[in-house]
Amino acid sequence: MTETIEPHELPNALDRAPDGVKALSLDCFDTLLWRDCHAPTDVFSALDHVLPGQRIVGERNARKAEATLRRRTEIGMRAIYEHAMPNAGESIREEAIAGELDLEARVCFAFAPTVDLMREAKRRGIKVIIVSDTYLSARQLENLIRKAAGDEVADLIDRVFASCEAGVSKAQGLLAKALKAMKLRAHEVLHIGDNKAADFDASRALGVPALHLVQFTDAARQRLRFERACQQIAGEADGGARGLMPHRALIAIGEPQTTHPAQGFGFTVLGPVFHAFDRWLRREAEALEQAHGGTVHWLFLLRDGHLPQIVHDAGGASPSTARVELSRFTATAASLASRAAYDRHVALEHGLNPATLALQMLFAEDEIAKVVGSPSSDAELTEASQRLLAELRSGQRRKLTIRRARAFADRLIAHIRAAVDPQPGDTLMLVDLGYNGSAQNRVDALLSEAFGVQVAGRYLLMREMQATGLDKQGLIDPRHYDPAFLEAMCSNVAVIEQLATCEMGSVVDYTEKGEPIRKRSAVKGRQSSVRNAVQAGVVRFAEAATDPPVIRMKDHDAERGWREAAAGALARFMFLPQPRELEIVRRFEHDVNLGSERMVPLFDPERAGEGMRRRGLFYMKGSARMFLPAELAQEDMSTRLSLLVQKRFGLGLTYADHAPRTIALPAYYLSATQASQTEIEARATHDGYFAARIPVGEAGYGVALQLGAAFRWVEIASITCSPLSALAGGSHNDAAPLPVNARYEGFIEHAPGLVECRNEEALVLVMPDAVPSSDQPQMIEIVFRPIRHRGRASEKAPTVTSTITVPGKAA
């Protein structure tokens, strides 16, 4: 008989039992009864009479006392609360015990495949017993099953055996006592449980046929641990059990049956998120209908509204739903129909790429070519921006754009009318991923006035950048999470957008009849096929969730549970993605969707190693890539958590705060005829590396760094030149540094980059003619890793004068 069984195989477990089995023996928790929360101790956060830590210590002390005084380790609830509440009266303790049992019933449910197995046992005339290592008595456990799962499930059980009453655990002989009480021989029982030592090994030692229930795959266990950690970091609602994960049962059944990596990712990671979103949207639609009357029209805003729409269909579509193509670009174009809107957009968006801004201001292509041209340098871009601003300030251009915007708005209205034909008093519920509701900001008043309707934006993730006063809410929004957490989530939302979108270009205009006009999609074919597979997995989860493997009397915490599960799953994927997940999306690019053709890589793992060595986590500052935590997937957990915590709490830490270790090294500035000595602090970056940064001005200077003063052996990782402004972040920090040619004096190279300093005067020289000329201040960055210090490992190098020869003069 195969030793393990997966959750979806449970209904047919008796087919794998030997002939002559007369009883089915089941473990209780995580076999028959499952909890919504991640760990049993998560229930304790909702206790009224004791704090979670007091409850845990009470149990620990009760077990210690039992082992010391009676040489037993099994205890009951009464003993636990005697130690947790030593000065409380008996009635207060009984009240506390009853409260904990009520909480357990609130978060517990019967796992449907196990119940199906029990029903099959009864059909075959096989008895069903529960054998559990637990501090609950048999009566308490039976009452819990009845209260959580109902009479039908409880009535399938012939008898319950609890370790606290027997005084021994399963490993110590509880199952043997159960066999004796039931007058059964070992070979006449099949035992199933999730604990290998207690359920499988202990049973086999008695000669009892047994199956070890593998509740989750190894990948799922780690992922759920990380999701729970992210829930804790995000912050959880006060009151009630913590660590709620209502998707656990669906994951346990579905994940082992999924072999396609992309579909599996969709099912296990995004499936719970988008199912939670759809559940919430359905409640919001009901609330809007009750508040305003009329029909609530679900408008899924393409392209990112594609996945929410197909998930909604999988769960049963609402009466009035439609896919509408409304991008930030078209919403902006339609909003420029007044002087105030025109001036506001010019004022706030000046500084964009001039060609992009001109498109947004509804310039024709020949007008863009005339005003903006084709700038290729920073100076030319600045000049083009100035010409564009002068043109935008002209009254003639303002009138022309406003006239075009009004016509654009009419075409957009025609598009909406063709989709749902709303009537006065109806509600248009705009459904999108979020996160600012920018499109709604621009068209809310337009739609409301044109149709005489209410407009409500409902988003997966919502954090407004302005207090617009519009009807906007999110599944994950400021009602439940603080601004710093929401900001952290929004910083990585591009990867979710790319997984939620559909195969079409972004809409840039509409015909007079409202038919969308799209730009060509720049997304590669492989990206589309991978995305489709991921979405298929998400839909499969949504379909499974319509009939979950859960039997319970009432789901008390469903709404909070699904919201916190979605937040935990999103945060986990955004900040702690696993290598196998990143392999799925590693070639993805992001369309910024502002009227331009710009595609941005989501992440670049190769940049991370070099960037971390040069500047630590601050290499990310100013990066245009949209999924930066993915670049740290191969780093240790301390580095990844450092980024997560800094982003989640918005910590105002500086580079120096992250890397306080410095090494002072002699350095020299070199001109064509002379050298001058100074001291440079090399600062720790990552993985033992240090970066020495030597400003060299705009041109004309070289540098030398006297590494031999501090080290006998050193690894030189890179010698590059960058603008000094890169240290402040921005595009210069994200740009690849320029390698420079260097001379090594006083070194013996034993391997590429690995050098031995022959003496204290060994130095690296970058001659003046090796420094690229520039119109802005530059710096030379020398990244190295000390291998062996000279003398003791001092953080302050001794000052040793080195002789440097420069052309025409001796130093």
Using DSSP, state whether 534 is helix, strand or coil: helix
Which of the four pLDDT bands, split at 50, 70 and 90, describes residue 601?
Answer: confident
Nearest-angstrom CA–CA distance, 107 and 29 = 12
Which of the four pLDDT bands, split at 50, 70 and 90, describes residue 807?
Answer: very low
Mean pLDDT of 646-663: 88
Mean pLDDT of 620-634: 88
Nearest-angstrom CA–CA distance, 308 and 538 = 10
- Residue among 231, 263, 286 at smallest CA distance from 544: 263
Q: What is Dmax (Cα atoms) for the chain?
A: 105
The pLDDT value recorded for residue 317 is 87
Q: Which residues contact 379 (CB under 8 A, 6 or more apart)?
A: none
CA atoms within 13 A on the CB side of 347: 6
Say if residues 534 and 311 touch (Cβ distance below 8 Å). no
Say if residues 746 and 761 touch (Cβ distance below 8 Å). yes
CA atoms within 13 A on the CB side of 705: 27
The pLDDT value recorded for residue 486 is 96
How many C-beta neighbours within 10 Å does residue 393 have?
Answer: 11
Reported as a single tens digit per residue, the pLDDT across 126-147 is 999 999 999 999 999 999 999 9
HEC assignment per residue over 576-618: CCCHHHHHHHCCCEEECCCCCCCEEECCCHHHHHHHHHHHHHH
The pLDDT value recorded for residue 797 is 42
Say if residues 405 and 274 touch (Cβ distance below 8 Å). no
Tell me: pLDDT of 523 over 80: no
Beta bridge partners of 745: 763
Lowest-confidence range among 7-16, 74-83, 717-726?
717-726
Q: Which amino acid is at 667?
A: A
Nearest-angstrom CA–CA distance, 462 and 476 = 6
> Domains of the chain (ranges plus CATH)?
4-215 (3.40.50.1000), 657-810 (no CATH)
- Residue among 685, 683, 690 at smallest CA distance from 714: 690
Q: With 0-12 CB in 10 A as exposed, 13-18 as middle and 19+ as buried, what is 803?
A: exposed
- Residue among 779, 752, 785, 607 at smallest CA distance from 685: 785
Which of the four pLDDT bands, split at 50, 70 and 90, describes residue 810?
Answer: very low
Say if residues 278 and 311 touch (Cβ distance below 8 Å). yes
Structure tokens at 613: 């060595």
Mean pLDDT of 565-576: 97
β-pairing, 4-5 vs 210-213, is parallel
Say if residues 209 and 191 touch (Cβ distance below 8 Å). yes
The pLDDT value recorded for residue 792 is 47
Q: Compute the CA torsion angle 16, 543, 230, 263 (nearest 10 deg).
A: 80
Tell me: pLDDT of 811 over 50: no
Which of the four pLDDT bands, split at 50, 70 and 90, describes residue 530?
Answer: very high
Reported as a single tens digit per residue, the pLDDT across 354-369 is 999 999 999 999 999 9
CA atoms within 13 A on the CB side of 354: 26
The pLDDT value recorded for residue 595 is 46
Question: Which spans in 633-704 are helix H?
Answer: 637-649, 655-658
% of the chain residues with pLDDT over 90: 82
Reported as a single tens digit per residue, the pLDDT across 733-772 is 778 889 999 999 999 999 999 999 999 999 999 998 888 8
- Residue among 301, 306, 288 at smallest CA distance from 330: 301
Tell me: pLDDT of 598 over 50: yes
Tell me: pLDDT of 117 over 80: yes
Say if residues 514 and 418 touch (Cβ distance below 8 Å). yes
Task: Measure Cα distances from 636 to 632, 633, 646, 686 in Å.
Answer: 8, 8, 16, 11
Structure tokens at 265: 């990712």
Reported as a single tens digit per residue, the pLDDT across 400-420 is 999 999 999 999 999 999 999
The pLDDT value recorded for residue 675 is 82
Tell me: pLDDT of 336 over 60: yes
The pLDDT value recorded for residue 668 is 92
Tell me: pLDDT of 470 over 50: yes
pLDDT, averaged across the chain: 92
Mean pLDDT of 670-686: 89
Tell me: pLDDT of 800 over 70: no
Nearest-angstrom CA–CA distance, 166 and 773 = 84
Which of the four pLDDT bands, split at 50, 70 and 90, describes residue 672?
Answer: confident
The pLDDT value recorded for residue 805 is 45
Mean pLDDT of 682-703: 88
Which of the four pLDDT bands, split at 50, 70 and 90, describes residue 299?
Answer: very high
Tell me: pLDDT of 326 over 80: yes
Tell me: pLDDT of 122 over 90: yes
- The model's pTM is 0.91
Reported as a single tens digit per residue, the pLDDT across 206-261 is 999 999 999 999 999 999 999 999 999 999 777 789 999 999 999 999 999 999 99
Say if residues 308 and 506 touch (Cβ distance below 8 Å). no
Q: List, as one string, the DSSP characters of 198-216.
A: IIIIHHHHHT--EEEE--S
% of the chain residues with pLDDT over 70: 95
Task: Measure Cα distances from 206 to 71, 209, 280 in Å.
Answer: 23, 9, 50
- 């009466």: which residue's tokens? 319
Q: With 0-12 CB in 10 A as exposed, 13-18 as middle and 19+ as buried, what is 732?
A: middle
Structure tokens at 312: 């909604």
